[in-house]
Structure 1
Amino acid sequence: MAAAAFADALLDPASVFDTPADVVSHPGLRDDQKRVILLAWANDALGLEWADARDLTDFAPVAHLDALLEALEPLDPKAAADYRAVRKHVRNESARRKRKLT
C-alpha cells in the first residue's frame, strides 16, 4: 500500500475499508500496519459509542466496534482486551442512562 493510501486509511479507515475484515485480508499491508489501522478505527468507534452513551451526538455510532476488536485480537491481544474493558464500561454506562430516562 502506498504511503498516501496508508495515511488515508489511518486517518479515516472507513473511507478506505468497508469492514475490519477488509483490513485483515488486505494483501498490501503488513501486520503492524493492519494493527495500527484497526487501533485507529477502534478508537474512533469507541469514541462514538462514548459520545452516544452521553447523548452528545445526534447520530448513532456505526456498529463496527465488535468486529474491529475481533479483527484486532490476533494482531494485538492486549490492546483488544483493553478496548473490550472500556467498551463494557461505556455500554454499561449507556444502559444505566437509558434506564434513568424510562
Structure 2
Amino acid sequence: MLDHADNIIDLNAILHPGSVYDHPRDVIADPTLSIGEKRAILTSWASDAASVASSPTLRELPGSDKAVTIDEILEALASLDHHPKGPPGGKPVRTRSVERTGLAA
C-alpha cells in the first residue's frame, strides 16, 4: 500500500478496500497499514451498507466478489485491541457483603 522509497500511498486500498483485500485477515496482515487505517477499513466492511441483502450476517465490499461473515470482521477488529491481562486497578475487593449493601440503600 505504501511505497516507502517514493512515499506514495495507494488510496485505492483505503477508498475501495474490496478491490485490494478479500478477507479481514488480509487487512490485519498488511504491514503498511496503521492500526487506524485497519480499523477504518474493517469498520466500513462491518457497516450495514456492506451487508448482503439476502443474508444480513454476510458483508461484501464494493469491488469484491467474496462475502465474509460479520463475525470474521468483528474478530479481526477485536484483534486490533490490546486487552490487559487483568482488570485495571487489579482484582476487586469487597469490603461489605452484598446483602448488607442492598439493605442500606
Name the TM-score, length of structure 2 as normaliser: 0.50
Q: Which residue of 2 aligns with 1:68?
A: 73
Equivalences for residues 54-93 of structure 1 within 5 A: 62-75=67-80
Q: Which residue of 1 aligns with 2:49?
A: 47
Gaps of 5+ in 1: 55-60, 78-102
Gaps of 5+ in 2: 3-7, 57-65, 83-105
Work out whether residues 9 and 15 of structure 1, in 8 Å CA contact, stay in contact via their aligned partners in 2. yes
Structure ranking higher in strand proportion: 2
Cα separation, 2, equivalents of 1:23 and 1:63: 13
AA at the equivalent of 1:39: T
AA at the equivalent of 2:51: E
1:27 to 1:13, Cα distance in 2 relative to 1, 3 A:
same
Cα separation, 1, equivalents of 2:34 and 2:50: 27
Work out whether residues 19 and 64 of structure 1, in 8 Å CA contact, stay in contact via their aligned partners in 2. no
1:8 to 1:31, Cα distance in 2 relative to 1, 3 A:
same
Aligned residue pair count? 68
Q: CA offsets, 1:21-71, max 9 Å, x none?
A: 01101111111111111111222xx334363369xxxxxx82342211110
Cα separation, 1, equivalents of 2:33 and 2:50: 26
Aligned-CA RMSD value: 2.9
Q: Does 1:24 align with 2:43?
A: no
